[in-house]
Structure 1
Amino acid sequence: MENTENRLPQEEQEIDLLELAQKLWKRRKVFYKALGGAVVVGLVIAFSIPKEYSVTVTLAPESTRKTSSSLASMAAMMGFGDLATNSDRDALNILLFPDILASNPFALELYSMPVKPVDSDTIMALNEYMSQAKRPWWSSVMGLPGKVIGGITSLFSSKDEEAKVEALNPFRLTKVEAGKIGAIKNSLEANVDKKTGVTTITVTMQDAEVAATVADSVVVKLQDYVTAYRTKKVAGDCAYWEKLYKEKQQEYYEAQQKYANYMDENKSLFTQRSKIEGERLQNEMNLAYQIYNQMATQLQMSQGKLQEAKPVFAVVQPATVPLTPSAPRKMVILVGCLFLAFVGTAGWILFGEDIWRKFKNSSITEE
């Protein structure tokens, strides 16, 4: 009995699935219409989206642990004991790459860089190129109310107010400037492999030439940005020691000149007073030389530390002009539209029609 009871639900389920399949097959003409419409919609969407080109650059950090033992020992003696451990911070700098590319200061570094599109004979700023980027037709339709409102408000704005927004103020950006900076940031992407330290930077633009130019500039500016971040404190220390070095050098030269002048003026005198004065000037000169020598050593070590603090990144895959667009993926869009049309049509035939019929009958009976 138990076996027969277990078989019944399975048989009923098989029968239900068969009935559903037959029900869908009987309405296959509806599927043909829906799938045909989906093909048209998919093609319209695929060909309405502007082409985009992606350029990927691969960076790998080079080890900076080739510090000589003599330099490391001298650094330890002079209070720079962490000189050899600076390379351990490379991973931290690499992890900052995505945040740096997503920041406004870095986008502002690229804001006014010159670019030359393939189809243009003029060189323009990147922000100007971003404002001329193509958009799908539906984005223009959706943005029409905003344009109408903006046109109305512009009628009540004076020319003086319009002139004030010509200069870029990073502290107070206008909506247009913020939109351009946002577009620049959205076109940049960085992925970091925490294990190997390999970083891939991808730049996506509607023009292949512009994408390659921006990608190459991003690598250079990113290296400079990280170098400035890493060496900020060390560079300040180096400037401080250089200032002291020049001051002590001048004091030594002055003490040396005083001693030489005194010896020339009193070379024929053999009094005790002149002898003591000469020894005093000589001691001052020797003391100034010792301090000057110490400052020179400190400056040399700070310069060595500054050089060691600079991160070095090898460009494994440089930027090249892409030959084929990376988007839109027309086949994926078409398949997605067909899938949605099939699922939507099947759901309507199996469940939607019955629900709509019950709702319609209930509304009629209420009336």
Structure 2
Amino acid sequence: MTQQNDNIDNMPNQEEEIDLLELARKLWDSRRMLIRWGIAGAVIGLIVAFSIPREYTTTIKLAPEANDGKAASGGLEALASMAGISMGTGADAVYPQLYPDVVSSVPFVVGLFDVNLVDKEGNATTVRQYLEEDTSAPWWSAIMSLPGTVIGGVKSLFTSDDEVAEGDSINIFHLSPKENDIVLALSSRISANVDTKTSVITLSSTMQDPVVSAMLADTIAMRLREYVTEYRTNKARQDMEYAQKLNDEARDEYYKAQQRYADYTDKNQGLILRSAQTERDRLQNESSLAFNLYNQTAQQLQMAKAKVQQTTPVYTVVQPATVPLRPSKPSKVLILVGFVFLAVVAASAWILFGKDMVNSFRNKKVEEKAEPEQ
């Protein structure tokens, strides 16, 4: 009885082995078909790989200056960063974790449109002009965009020239469809990443020209530093401008009081009248008070200037922009392997399942046609 049960338990395993062997036998019998499909996939993969334009990526790494105010809580922030938690300080609204959002924002991207560039052949261009005129796309993109081009052409027939015409200035609040496409294309080619543990900022730009890629990455780093510097020093610069205004007013008032005292002294030399001496003392006191006020505002102005210098962030360039020598994409080997793999998998699915399903469907149709005749 026990031997009979063991034989029953082993039957599914034997059937499974038979099924697997049958599948392997089908694949081996159709190995020529698999080879043909693999060769076809390799040919298609080569066509696709060589049809995609080369892209060059330039990377810049910046290390921001450590803030003394955060030094005391450095250990706690390090533990929080290990746990994936970002501790905000509350004093700075644009902290490094927001730099990727700043770089991808519409105002920042639109500000790069008019940046002057030079390609590898020495031709002068701008970012917008390069994306519109000098950036190529695979041949199938023209086929995929054909319906949209036809629809746009039909719409232009029913749209007045005044509505289609675009002005020289860009309205960030209301971008035209063409400007919006350029913004999306440029924002997909630039990026910023921040390491939460080391606070190292990595900026990158990808273009089809290596020189353009390096120049654009360098411009992005410069613009980001200017943006952060302007934000962090905004309050200090406003205080400095106000201190400068007070200092200028105090200086003018001091010069006027000093001149009044000098004029009165020159006109009333040798007088011993008490009223004349009183007036002279009053003018002298006004001049002294004006000088003291001028001295105080000058000290406040110097402190405001020092505050601006203190709040100005300093970034150390860990890795500067260099012209890339090799393209970053496309990976022709990966594309080739991927297409060959997909072709072999598709051929295997057809051999194992598709052919039987089609044959059974045909047989069923034949049987259905034969039944009415009987």
Same fold (TM over 0.5): yes
2:301 maps to amino acid: L
Separation in structure 1 between the aligned mates of residue 40 and residue 117 of structure 2, nearest angstrom: 41
Tell me by how many angstroms 1:290 deviates.
2.3
Bigger mean CA deviation after superposition, 353-362 or 232-241: 353-362
User: 1:118: Cα distance to partner?
Assistant: 2.2
Q: What is the root-mean-square deviation of aligned Cα atoms in Å? A: 2.6
Larger mean CA deviation between 342-351 and 180-189 belongs to 342-351
Deviation at 1:272, TM superposition (A): 2.4
Partner Cα distance (1:337, 1:90) in 2: 50
Aligned-pair distance for 1:294? 1.9
User: Which residue of structure 2 lines up, in the alignment, with residue 118 of structure 1?
Assistant: 120
The verdict on how the C-alpha distance between 1:366 and 1:286 changes in structure 2, with shifts beyond 3 A counting, is farther
C-alpha distance after superposition, 1:324-366 (max 9, x if no partner): 1111100001111112122222223323334444445555556
Q: In the alignment, what sits opposite 2:237? A: 235
Counterpart in 2 of 1:47? 50
Q: Is the 8 A contact 1:61 1:313 kept in 2?
A: yes
Letter of the structure 2 residue corresponding to residue 54 of structure 1: T
* Residues in 1 aligned to 2:7 and 2:273: alpha-carbon distance in whole angstroms: 134
Letter in 1 for 2:156: S
2:26 pairs, out of 19, 23, 27, with 23
Unaligned stretches of 5+ in structure 1?
67-86
Find the aligned partners of 1:199 and 1:343 in 2 and give their Cα distance. Answer: 42
Between the aligned partners of 2:344 and 2:356, the Cα distance in structure 1 is 18
Amino acid paired to 1:32: I
The residue that corresponds to 2:16 in the other structure is 13
Q: Deviations over 1:157-200 (max 9, x none)?
A: 44444544344333322111111122111110111111111111
- In the alignment, the residues of structure 2 paired with residue 91 and residue 346 of structure 1 have an alpha-carbon distance, to the nearest angstrom, of 57
In structure 2, relative to structure 1, the CA distance for the partners of 1:25 and 1:236 (3 Å cut) is same
SS at match of 1:267: coil
| Cα displacement (A) at 1:278 | 2.4
Cα deviation digits, residues 248-269 of structure 1 (max 9, x gap): 1111221222222222222322
Structure 1 counterpart SS, 2:41: helix
Residue type at the aligned position of 1:272 = R
2:141 counterpart of 1:147: no
- Asked if 2 retains the 8 angstrom alpha-carbon contact of 1:61 and 1:197, the reply is yes
Which position in structure 2 is the counterpart of 1:73? none
| Pairing 1:225-304 to 2, within 5 Å after superposition | 225-304=227-306
Per the alignment, residue 84 of structure 2 pairs with: none
Residues 64 and 312 of structure 1 are in contact (CA less than 8 Å); yes or no, is this contact kept in structure 2? no
Q: Deviations over 1:118-153 (max 9, x none)?
A: 24x531221011012100111100111222222333
Aligned equivalents of 1:201 and 1:220: distance in 2? Answer: 11
Letter in 2 for 1:51: R
Alignment of structure 1 residues 268-347 onto 2, 5 Å: 268-347=270-349
**Cα deviations by residue, 1:88-113 (Å, 9 ceiling, x for unpaired):** 97895322221111011111221011
- Deviation (angstroms), 1:6: 5.6
- Compared CA separation, residues 287 and 11, structure 1 to 2 (3 A): farther
Q: Assess if the C-alpha contact under 8 Å between 1:117 and 1:210 holds in 2.
A: yes
Distance in 1 of aligned mates of 2:15 and 2:240: 85
Determine the structure 1 residue equivalent to 2:131.
130
How far is the alpha carbon of 1:218 from its aligned partner?
Answer: 1.3
Q: Could you tell me which amino acid in structure 2 is paired with residue 115 of structure 1?
A: L
Amino acid at match of 2:185: A
TM-score normalised by the chain length of structure 2: 0.84
Structure 1 residues 5-64: Cα deviation after superposition (integer angstroms, max 9, x where no partner): 665544443333222212221222221121111111111110111111111111111336
Aligned length: 346
Change (3 A) 1:292 1:365: farther
Change (3 A) 1:89 1:30: farther
CA contact (8 A) 2:94 2:228 kept: no
**Aligned partners of 1:18 and 1:91: how far apart in 2?**
65
Q: 2:37 aligns with which of 27, 30, 34?
A: 34
| In structure 2, distance between residues paired with 1:3 and 1:235 | 89
